[in-house]
Amino acid sequence: MKVIESLNIKEKAYIEKLENGLTVIIIPKQNSNKKYVIWGTHFGSIDNRFIMPQTGEEVFIPDGVAHFLEHKMFEQENGTNSLDTLMALGIDANAYTTNDHTAYLFECTNNFYEGLDELMDYVQHPYFTDENVEKEKGIIGQEIGMYDDDPGWQLYMNAMDCMYKQNPIKIDIAGTVESISKITPDVLYKCYNTFYNPSNMVMVLCGNFEPEQILQEIKKRIVPKELQGEIKRIYPEKENTINKPYKEVAMEVSSPMFAIGYKDCEDFEQEKEHIVAKHIAIEILLNMIIGKSSKLYKELYESGEILSEPDLSYEFSSQYAHILISGQSKNPEKIQNEIKKIVEEYKQNGLDKEHFERIKKKIYGDYVVEYNSVGDIARMFLSDKMKQINSFDYIEEYSSVTKEYTEEILKNVFKEENMIMSVVKCK
């Protein structure tokens, strides 16, 4: 097995690519009594048009298929539901779908191998019929209705609509009631057979494991499948401008909600080898601009303009990249204007060295803390692997992020012409 290591935090990860193409990552945590496994496929909501490697057929699928497929994987031909089976073993199991991957997971202290039996059985044995697919449409239709009524989700989706014209990231992960009505067992099997091939999947395990032993246990449970060629995914052309600067809706909320965003229009392919350093720099900048210890946050909080520390994030893949600052305020426009001012001030005068170093240490501390939880570690390694990133790079590249480099990122990414705001105001 290939071993990668972070000397800074004394952690190791063992990586093996099996003959069938499956990548297995094992992060031993000898002192943990919890075990965590997550099995992901590189198939998310943005993958709605592709060419099947087996046949060369171009397929355009309805919105929401990746999420629909995730729901259906638990149902077994014998009438049982694998989620119920895992819960009955005292195992905390779940699944989720994102823009770029779908994952099945569980955490436990006991019955690990019984859980692994069930996980590796249901993920490798899909069972779709006309009847069970139709039944699921009603269940997911209700879920879509719940998200339609969720102010936080509407805030996010409207922010995506502001930033992107054609990019599929602006499509709801669950799809719409109309789009899921077009899903059939044939569509699900086509997507399963294409994207759930081991060569498109990654399994991450974290806990008190002996790497070689757990690897043999996984190999025992693998259903033989032929290697397949690369899946050609077809996406719309990249967009170098925002779609619209502002969007608002009125909903039942106690105080207006805002999401202020910057669309990152830099070329991902050119930036790829620096993406970790760039991500670290953006996290530092967001904390300096309006994080809990920033001057701006202190002023806004003390004047009652902002109700709590805003959520700060940078989401990226080869197909999209954007910054989001979201929270609650009676006056979202003022928050946006104050952010514009502080960004301009930093561009003109540079970053304060002492503040920069303090925030940089805080960000490093946040990364280190993630290694205390087997679940956080496993999810992080899976998510990063889908982006072709080694998670340890966030620890190792931290020291290379200088004030001067961060100032360059500020100028290149925090551009007013690429700024948007989504608002959910009170009804």
Express each pLDDT in 54-108 by its tens digit. 889 999 999 999 999 999 999 999 999 999 999 999 999 999 999 999 999 999 9
Same domain membership, residue 266 and residue 221: no
- Does residue 86 sit within a domain? yes
- Which of 233, 259, 289 terminates a domain? The answer is 233
Same domain membership, residue 253 and residue 202: no
Q: Residue 324 above 90 pLDDT?
A: yes
Same domain membership, residue 137 and residue 59: yes
Same domain membership, residue 255 and residue 164: no
| Structural domain for 135, as ranges | 2-233
Same domain membership, residue 168 and residue 137: yes
Q: What is the pLDDT of residues 240-276, one digit of tens each?
A: 999 999 999 999 999 999 999 999 999 887 778 899 9
Same domain membership, residue 372 and residue 318: yes
Same domain membership, residue 255 and residue 219: no
- Which of 233, 254, 281 terminates a domain? The answer is 233
- Does residue 80 sit within a domain? yes
Q: What is the pLDDT of residues 203-227, one digit of tens each?
A: 999 999 999 999 999 999 999 988 8
Q: Which residue among the candidates 5, 58, 70, 271 is catalytic per the annotation?
A: 70
| The predicted structure's pLDDT at residue 54 | 84
Q: Is 70 a catalytic residue?
A: yes
| The predicted structure's pLDDT at residue 379 | 98
Predicted confidence band of residue 299 (pLDDT cuts 50, 70, 90): very high
Q: What is the pLDDT of residues 18-65, one digit of tens each?
A: 999 999 999 999 989 999 999 999 999 999 999 999 889 999 999 999
- Three-class SS of the chain: CEEEEECCCCEEEEEEECCCCCEEEEEECCCCCCEEEEEEECCCCCCCEEECCCCCCEEECCCCHHHHHHHHCCECCCCCEHHHHHHHCCCEEEEEECCCCEEEEEEECCCHHHHHHHHHHHCCCCCCCHHHHHHHHHHHHHHHHHHHCCHHHHHHHHHHHHHCCCCHHHCCCCCCHHHHCCCCHHHHHHHHHHHCCHHHEEEEEEECCCHHHHHHHHHHHCCCCCCCCCCEECCCCCCCCCCCCEEEEEECCCCCEEEEEEECCCCHHHHHHHHHHHHHHHHHHHHHHHCCCCHHHHHHHHCCCCCCCCEEEEEECCCCEEEEEEEECCCHHHHHHHHHHHHHHHHHHCCCHHHHHHHHHHHHHHHHHHCCCHHHHHHHHHHHHHCCCCCCHHHHCHHHCCHHHHHHHHHHHCCHHHEEEEEEEEC
